[in-house]
Chains A and B, each alone.
Chain A
């Protein structure tokens, strides 16, 4: 600053000053704060940390340097001849007032104080003798942000010391945090003022470690306990996937990650089981496979007339091709690979992760994993998985692995993309990118111009369309599905909004490459167009009804779409449950009929599927084996693993779990088979291959009927007052 150039050489000049009456000598350029510290005088501060550039904003460290106003010692450099007083009565009074101001708005005890008793503001304020602030409390709320899986944000406890911002900018160079707003309304924001969880935050934890108060605290994992060898954060930090993560932060999450060792042959997790963890393989190999038979439930009538029992059996699609059955060659699972339909088994090795969806969204395990060799894995709860997933090194590794191993099978598992040539897949390899979305985040919006085509790698995407009167869910798409093609085919803006339902990861194909694909592969274009036309026709039918009917009556209208309906005339029904029993008798003891459901006028309606406005059954299937046909009826694909989630999710009880005896490999006796029971999801088929469903036949009161809805309800629907009944 001065012409003679200060502080450029190592043999810096010394400056002499007096601090609290003591003469001290420090190198030129030293701050008063450091000069005092070196000489054993502690000056309190809130916003200053040794590893960050001083900001001088909390003003707690002010000292009297004999000028009109006090100087912030953290940022003011010591000058020759300076006389510094750090603890005169007026200086202490100023500090006390600052604590009193901050404490007035502080939600004391804040989260940090509650958890660990180390809120710096509360501690310092207490030391300064501030107990009951005399200023009125803040009245304008500043809010909480619970969106991050690992860090809780309490803006109420933020004192705008900027330590988190400097931690993010200077220490990690992520530049996610900034101040927002102005004056008393100022606060800290992530990115474009996004919730932390949806921001580009890397979950490195530096901001939380830097925060002096309860504004940023570590979220604990409640109710989850992991068995295994706890891992030292130091060890974790040596793994590239935890590069750039704060060690303190890992220490705080020590109980959320363990090391597991498996011997060859050990089962690590089973398909259909519930869980809350993901596994990262550090050593050895594992194989992932499906134990459930690859087949669907088929019901056949006996050969001796109607009184004979119906028979349900498992049938594969080779033997019994159903309409619109998927012909995909790969089964999507919750890992970085897909399983071939013909032989559903694959291998995972070091650096690979599985169980992400189970861990993030608590879906049932999608496949069984067995140790192929002796192996070591890190098993983690979602805190640690989130840290890892947001880590740049891990992302790069994941993306590399995905492009190398999974892209081909992923692309090929989409039947319409089957004609892609190896050279084009090679071209795409460098062009595609993985993108993550948080629950509720919009991936693309209706009406926007289209710039990408997407394949779903993880999670569920809701496709909805906005209409006057409300949004309609067109589909829930699971892993292995694609979306975003329509706008390219028709050269229009996006026709629907796609929203992440849970933690979603998509493979984004840039618009230009997708256009190129359509040009080069007319077959694909044709197939996509055909599929699109069918979707659009189905949608159009629905929309016609929506346009005429208010939203709250849509469900009633939805009945009209079913091919056939089972109705129970409640005026005749004596609730004798004969129908239910008959159904059970007909279906190996499992009733698919529950005498509960939607009531329409005096009828209780049971259909094979209600074509719900919002088909909840499709959310969460870990292997994506439930979907709708274009007729909007539900189809359950052969690779159903029998976890039962769809049956639980269906609000009308229209999906049932049907057990079948099967033979499985006996894990304790390799090579031997053992008898076991596997369940498969199935829905009421209205005994379609019979003249009359067994329930209808069984009803002694003539209350049960199978009807063709448009004909049956035609009369009823013409009366508007009927429509208003619920």
Chain B
């Protein structure tokens, strides 16, 4: 790009010159580039950027500036663009990382269950230690809400961590000892609606290859009333039908397995236990819409589910359910896993597409929606893991069966994750219509220590908090919406009576602030200013105009933010002001925290 360069002459040095093992990297990079470029659009330059950035980071521990420059020269992309991407994702380090990079999950369930104490203990133990030796920082939700608190040390995630263990692990990392493999609970969850009894049979795919009956599939999904289970609730049949009608090709099917909202763990359970239902759902979507390419976008913290999925994908290729001639027919569908470079914002569907395209995961202005202008500008079905899973359930067991599930006037089944102050946190498949009381006290075993329920979030921070009195609500889209909240992704987080709901609101708002991509003004600036205000409140500081200002700020964020993240930032504090008004009042006028959480230092 620059015939005459003002940069360092390192520009000209081949990638890795002089570094041990360098040649193998160069070859690897070139090979991957060659193989990818033959299929440029679907794989794009993008995956390559992430792949190459990861390769550099693997070898150097971080991304040295001259390596980024060399990569830019090699793949003919402006270095500014590579830096823009590399500096966006938390997964990439632009400076040498400390020997022990200790990150303690700071969000909802981990915050409730001792994450702060673990972090405090770590900080005390390593006080005075150089930051290049040991660095202790917060990290956003790691998706281990049912095994809180979680700590990530040098990219390995340890769940159920006690303070002493965390210190010992950090010490090992500091002294260069290999860290133990994190424990995976591979205990299988019984999935009631699994039509296949543990092994994928792909009957929907088999049937479609014979009948080519897409109308039947659309009709069945419509009949089954399946809606997007990521939280938005858009009718699935309609999304598939819209993409099917789009004339532009190629089309894409994308599975959003990037659940990153605090409390949201249900997709992990689905992927680990019934991966074949998700994959079959994706293949079916491809066959119905005419897409020949599927991408399963999974968060990088989900290494085990990724392995499970990859095995199942490999099995599908072997058995002919995936590939250029599905079961010997003229139908084709390829499926690959895309590991997210990290960040909650990647769960926003258009940001996710940007990430796949190798850009900063900044949500797009909509419309146009992905059904018409999606991945690489082409029509794209994006559904959540659970949506693909339930689509397969409906198409195998029938819409009738699906509708017969559920109680109290609701229908269907739903996967929920329950975490926080409960005896048996975990992932559950439950009938719709079940009440939150039943979920909390029967499924999850109630509140530990015989404490009383103070409140709960039906769907992580974005649903806001509801008081104990509203636990009688059924798990029903309409009923919960009427109560001013949402069933959402079923990320139920429970707070017992010793918690401070203002502190929980601050915690949720801080999560959004940390995860804001920064693209639009209301979210980037508003989330920060709101955190500052709420932080002041938990410390008993407020200004007379705060309530009015919060109101104005909330409405600007709701109405003017580009994407859902900015729009829901005001929800947690609004719900606390609505349902727990005394809590705020106590902090501000009496400098008293009813839960004894704030003012404790």
Instruction: Check if A and B associate.
Output: yes
Interface size on A, residues (CB 8 A): 75
Contact indicator A182/B4 (Cβ below 8 Å) = no
Residues of A within 8 Å of B246, CB to CB, are 3
Contact indicator A98/B518 (Cβ below 8 Å) = no
Contact indicator A58/B8 (Cβ below 8 Å) = no
Q: Which of B65, B528, B549 gathers the greatest number of chain A CB atoms within 10 Å?
A: B528
A260 CB, min distance to chain B CBs, angstroms: 27
A725 CB, min distance to chain B CBs, angstroms: 35
Within 8 Å of chain B (Cβ to Cβ): is A282?
no
- What residue in chain B is nearest A140 (Cβ atoms)? B528
The residues in B between 1 and 38 inclusive whose CB is less than 8 angstroms from any CB of A are 1-10, 12-13, 17-18
- What residue in chain A is nearest B72 (Cβ atoms)? A192
Residues of A within 8 Å of B553, CB to CB, are 97, 101
CA–CA, A510 to B14, complex, Å?
13
A498 CB, min distance to chain B CBs, angstroms: 10
- Produce 1/0 per residue, B323-346, CB < 8 A to A: 000000000000000000001000
Q: Which of B12, B246, B513 gathers the greatest number of chain A CB atoms within 10 Å?
A: B12
A512 CB, min distance to chain B CBs, angstroms: 11
Contact indicator A433/B245 (Cβ below 8 Å) = no
Contact indicator B18/A448 (Cβ below 8 Å) = yes
Within 8 Å of chain B (Cβ to Cβ): is A186?
yes
A15 CB, min distance to chain B CBs, angstroms: 14
Residues of B within 8 Å of A190, CB to CB, are 80
Residues of B within 8 Å of A174, CB to CB, are 1
Residues of B within 8 Å of A198, CB to CB, are 6-7
Contact indicator A199/B4 (Cβ below 8 Å) = no
CA–CA, A193 to B94, complex, Å?
10
Contact indicator B529/A136 (Cβ below 8 Å) = yes
Contact indicator B560/A56 (Cβ below 8 Å) = no
Within 8 Å of chain A (Cβ to Cβ): is B135?
no
Contact indicator B365/A56 (Cβ below 8 Å) = yes
Interface size on B, residues (CB 8 A): 69
B197 CB, min distance to chain A CBs, angstroms: 43
Contact indicator B525/A189 (Cβ below 8 Å) = no
Contact indicator B518/A56 (Cβ below 8 Å) = no
Contact indicator A395/B4 (Cβ below 8 Å) = yes
Contact of A76 among B5, B13, B88, B365 (CB under 8 A): B365
Residues of B within 8 Å of A57, CB to CB, are 519-521, 562
Within 8 Å of chain B (Cβ to Cβ): is A124?
no
Contact indicator A101/B88 (Cβ below 8 Å) = no
Contact indicator A183/B518 (Cβ below 8 Å) = yes
Contact indicator B83/A189 (Cβ below 8 Å) = yes
Contact of A182 among B1, B12, B373, B517 (CB under 8 A): B517
CA–CA, A435 to B246, complex, Å?
51
Contact indicator A184/B6 (Cβ below 8 Å) = no
Within 8 Å of chain B (Cβ to Cβ): is A222?
no
Contact indicator B9/A434 (Cβ below 8 Å) = no
Contact indicator A135/B549 (Cβ below 8 Å) = yes
CA–CA, A134 to B88, complex, Å?
30
Within 8 Å of chain B (Cβ to Cβ): is A292?
no
Contact indicator B9/A101 (Cβ below 8 Å) = no
Contact of B527 among A184, A194, A442 (CB under 8 A): A184
CA–CA, A181 to B368, complex, Å?
27
- What residue in chain B is nearest A436 (Cβ atoms)? B6
B541 CB, min distance to chain A CBs, angstroms: 11
A241 CB, min distance to chain B CBs, angstroms: 13
A379 CB, min distance to chain B CBs, angstroms: 24
CA–CA, A445 to B365, complex, Å?
45
Contact indicator B78/A175 (Cβ below 8 Å) = yes
Within 8 Å of chain A (Cβ to Cβ): is B81?
yes
Given contacts A56-B562, A435-B6, A442-B8, contact A98 B522 (CB under 8 A): yes
- What residue in chain B is nearest A390 (Cβ atoms)? B6
Contact indicator A175/B80 (Cβ below 8 Å) = yes
Contact of B525 among A90, A102, A185, A191 (CB under 8 A): A102
Residues of B within 8 Å of A189, CB to CB, are 80, 83-84, 87
Additional pairs, 12, CB under 8 Å, beyond known A193-B65, A448-B13 = A1-B372, A57-B520, A59-B562, A90-B555, A97-B556, A98-B521, A182-B88, A183-B515, A183-B524, A192-B69, A198-B6, A198-B7
Q: List 28 A-B contacts (CB under 8 A).
A: A1-B373, A57-B519, A59-B520, A59-B560, A69-B559, A75-B365, A90-B559, A96-B552, A98-B560, A101-B522, A101-B553, A102-B521, A104-B525, A105-B525, A181-B518, A182-B88, A184-B524, A191-B83, A192-B82, A192-B83, A194-B7, A199-B6, A395-B4, A435-B4, A438-B6, A448-B18, A452-B9, A510-B12
Interface residues of B, Cβ cutoff 8 Å to A: 1-10, 12-13, 17-18, 65, 68-69, 78-84, 87-90, 94, 245-247, 343, 360, 365, 367-368, 372-373, 513-522, 524-529, 532, 543, 545, 549, 552-553, 555-556, 558-562, 567
Q: Which 3 pairs show the lowest CB-CB distances between chains A and B? A: A186-B518, A178-B84, A175-B78
